[in-house]
Structure formats: structure tokens, C-alpha cells
Structure 1
């Protein structure tokens, strides 16, 4: 085997080994790290108000402070519920990718470490939603079926691209939430745990994408870029269920309309996706059709 062909494998192994060392040094058990018995301060938000889909709209100005607090708690629970949905997809894709792989390799071992992390994260999000009294938000039926197909068919850079998109978008949001002094400690702590551990998952996904795209031809690049963009659109469009507006006592039809036209929130999403778009561009996964989908999702 040539030096050129073995070098990328060694590079991937080195990255995975460092990630395994990091996981051994800095990981959390939400059952112990989160104070599940602490009462929820009635005056604290579920997420930074600036991240609410209605922040800056005329409807937001009309809402009472209690409605704003209630809305943000339901919004964060909807986002967490979407996270659980995609983490279940993620786990199946990673397991399939590592099926009968060499268990002595560091990338195999880190892949299983990531799956273990995701299981804990899903339980953590489920408990947080239950604590806030806002569990039961699900993607649309069409999105659920698309997700079923994606987890079954997506492979190589398409699978890891979908994983990266979901993790990057949530990561930027949670970095703000974990620092928000007006945000519930429950959300701040769960966000911190997720940010720290997902940073390793994102490094792993980027490395897998680089390796799998190294020999990809133009047709494969176009196909994969489009599939990842569609997955991104489905994920982002399902983050906030319209039921959150009814939970806050709002006119759902009006709230959905104002959220859809909220240019402030659109700009916030675009800025939060800048690093992701830069990486996809450098990886050759930002074709014109893909860019059109990202623009429709206000990610570009």
C-alpha cells in the first residue's frame, strides 16, 4: 500500500485517538451533574429571549412577560425534542457505518463512545422537557418518514454531513443558552454538557467527511451536497413546533405567520451557520442547488 493511501487513515486514527482521550478526561453524567430536584424559577426563560422565533416581532411586543417565559420554555423543549429525534437517527447511521469494522481501530471505539454520549443526551433532554412540563413535541409526519428513509439509506459523507448540520446548528444556540443569566439553570447545565461532548462529535464528523470526500467525483459531490441540504432543511424546519404558540396562549395562525417573516431570527440563523457553510464549501458540498435550499432555510 502506498504512503499516500495510508496517510489519511493514520490521520483519521490520530484524530479519533485524541477524541477518545478527551472523552476519558472530560465527560459528564447528566444524572449527577443536573440538579433535577431544584424548583424552576418562575422568572427565568427557557432560552435567551433573543433566540425566540417571535423576538422582535409586533406580537412579541404585545405579549406579557409570563407569555414570553412560557413560550421560550416550550420552544427550548421543542428544540430538545427535535434533538432526540435526530440523535436516534444519528445512532443508527453510526452503528451501520461501523458494522463489522475493526474493533481495534480508534475510530470504531470513538464511534461507540459517541453513541453512548447520544443515549445520555437523549435521556437528559427527555427529563428536561418533562421537568418543564413541555414534552411531546414531534416533527411532522412527512419529516418522520423522510428521517426513516435517511437513516436507512444515508452513508459516508451524506450520513456524517447530516450529523454535522444538526450538531452545528444546536451548538451555536446552546453556547448562548449556557451563558444566559436569565435562562433556567436546568437549560444552562444541560446545554453545557451537550456543547462540551458534541464538540468531539463534530470534530469526528468533519474528519469522516474529509476522508470520504477525498476521492469523490463531481456526480457524487452534487448528489451528496443536495442530500445533506435537504436533511438540513428538514431538521431546521422542525425545530420549533407550532404547538409552542398555543401553549403560550397565542393565536397560533398569527404567531406562525410572524415567526415565518421574522427577519431578525433569520439573520441570527444565518450568522450561526456561517462556520458550517464555510466547512461545507471547503469540503466541496456547497453546490448551487444545495445553496438554494440553505437560503430557503435561512442558513445561508
Structure 2
């Protein structure tokens, strides 16, 4: 990966060469204004009773983990539709899992802070958004008839540890990782004419509201790291990369392949070698990687972890 000027500056001094963060309270007030104008209630915005057309996918086929493999070419159209529906529900289930972690970290961070500040009010607004998103994803998965896909036990316990201990830039960095990767995917899904309307609708709501959450997380990271030394940045970089590894590793449960009538062992093997999927993951992570580099959060150890899950 080519080094940016900011990344080179970080290596020399431990401090990225960027200006002082924007005034936080002004940023948070703008986010609150945006929330007042552009927020949605999925309970009324989504037609939960509408039938699901049999030929519509759960996500754009290009985002399927098997797209571009020999196995994909061998699958029937019904298997492809079924697979993409289970894949999107697995991603939504991972989203619910991490939204539960996110809410706890934000609440813990705001504990006893000034309730009169715009930061405090927006933090609680974000938590309210995430509650609605989790309910929305849960209803969508139920509508598509998918099971509750859960992370592996070891990863679930790693998430439990992260939510209990992560603070400051590490907590908000983990939040940003989860939101950025899903945002790129959902921007494609909501435009997919052959994608289920229930997925397109939930994606539209999530993209609009999560754009504010990402701005909030970036602002928090910039503020917490302004003037920080190299040791703190290395620790944060490692923690954020570990969170990214856990999140991305958990996005698509291998149970989705059995649900589509496939041999899970063969499917997992083909996914591991799928160059198309690797390229899509790198594309979805490009903006995030640039932000991390600019803030001194792409150390060698972090880069190695991002490469293991094809984010670099």
C-alpha cells in the first residue's frame, strides 16, 4: 500500500500532520440538526407485509461470497437467491451483535458527562438509532425466514471483552470499522433492482442514519488522538485492527452454505480463494484505510491484520 504524506509523517514523529480537529460542539450540533430532519421509523417506513418476490436476491450477486467462483457457476438460480438471502441475514445478524456492543461502549463513554452538551445529546440519539436498526434487521431476517446467525463462541467472548474495556479512540475506531464497511455494501444493495425491497429499504434507512454516526466517530477519534504520542497510537491501531478482524471474520456464517444446499467445506474453501470477493472487500475498506492512515492508525501489526481479512 502506498504511503500517504500523513502516514509518512506519522512514522517519523508519531503525530500525523493534520490540523487541529474541528470544534466538537459545532459538529455535534450539526449532527443533531440532521437527525431532526432526516430520521426514519422502520416500523412505518418498511412494508413488512409485502410478499417477497421469489426471483429477487438478498443482496447484489456481486457481493455474494461465492460470486466469481466455479461453485457459483454450478449453482442453480434458486440456490443463488437462497444463498444471498441467508448471506444478507448473516451480515444483519453480525450488525445486531456489534450494535449491541456499540451501544454499551457509547453509554459507558458518556457516563456522567455534561447532559447539556451537544456531544451527550447526539450520543444518546445515536444509541436510539441503533436500537431501531437492530429491531429493523431482526424483523427483516425473520421475514426472510433465516435463523439467528451468531458469531463463534471465541469471537463472541472477544466482543464481550472489547465492549467492557475499549475506551476513547479504540472504542470509536471499532465503531467506525463496522459502520464504514457495511456502508459501502448497503449503498450498492439499496440501488439493486433485483434485490428484495425489504433489503433495499432497510439499507436506505441505515445508510442515511449511519452517515451521521460515522461523522461522530471520526470526530471523536480526531479529538482523542490530537497530540497523542506514538505508543498510544500503536495501542489504538492494534485494538482497532483486532476489532476489524473479529467483525469481518464474523460477517458471513458458514451455515449459509448448508442453507442453500451446498457442501459447506467446499464453499468455504472456494470463498478463501475468491479473488473477486477479496477485491470487493478492499474496495469497501478504501475510505476507512485512508482515514486510519491519516490518523496514525496503520501500524505494521494493524496492516497485517487488515490483510488477513482482505481489507488491504
Please indicate, yes or no, whether the TM-score normalized by the shorter chain is above 0.5.
yes
Distance (whole Å) between structure 2 residues aligned to residue 68 and residue 259 of structure 1? 15
Give 1:260 deviation, angstroms: 1.1
Aligned pair partner of 2:155 in 110, 127, 143: 143
Which position in structure 1 is the counterpart of 2:276? Answer: 264
Question: Segments of 4+ in structure 1 off by > 3 A?
Answer: 7-10
Give 1:272 deviation, angstroms: 1.1
Aligned pair partner of 1:100 in 112, 116, 119: 112
Aligned pair 1:45/2:67, yes or no? no
Distance (whole Å) between structure 1 residues aligned to residue 22 and residue 248 of structure 2? 35
Aligned pair partner of 1:239 in 223, 233, 251: 251
Q: 1:10-44 CA deviation, whole Å, 9 max, x = no partner? A: 70100000000000000000000000000000000
Give 1:135 deviation, angstroms: 2.8
Aligned pair 1:157/2:169, yes or no? yes
When the two structures are aligned, how many residues end up with a matched partner? 294
Which position in structure 1 is the counterpart of 2:72? Answer: 60
Q: TM-score, normalised by structure 1?
A: 0.97
Which position in structure 2 is the counterpart of 1:293? Answer: 305
Give 1:215 deviation, angstroms: 2.3
Aligned pair 1:72/2:84, yes or no? yes
Distance (whole Å) between structure 2 residues aligned to residue 298 and residue 9 of structure 1? 30
Distance (whole Å) between structure 2 residues aligned to residue 18 and residue 212 of structure 1? 20
Which position in structure 1 is the counterpart of 2:205? Answer: 193
RMSD: 1.1
Which position in structure 1 is the counterpart of 2:238? Answer: 226
Which stretches in structure 2 are left out of the alignment for 5+ residues? 1-18
Which position in structure 2 is the counterpart of 1:32? Answer: 44
Query: 1:9–1:256: structure 2 CA closer, same or farther, 3 Å change rule?
Result: closer
Distance (whole Å) between structure 2 residues aligned to residue 181 and residue 133 of structure 1? 21
Q: 1:44-103 CA deviation, whole Å, 9 max, x = no partner? A: 000000000000000000000000000000000000000000000000000000000000
Do 2:20 and 2:226's aligned partners in 1 also have CA atoms closer than 8 Å? no
Which stretches in structure 1 are left out of the alignment for 5+ residues? 1-6
Give 1:216 deviation, angstroms: 1.4
Which position in structure 1 is the counterpart of 2:23? Answer: 11
Q: TM-score, normalised by structure 2?
A: 0.93
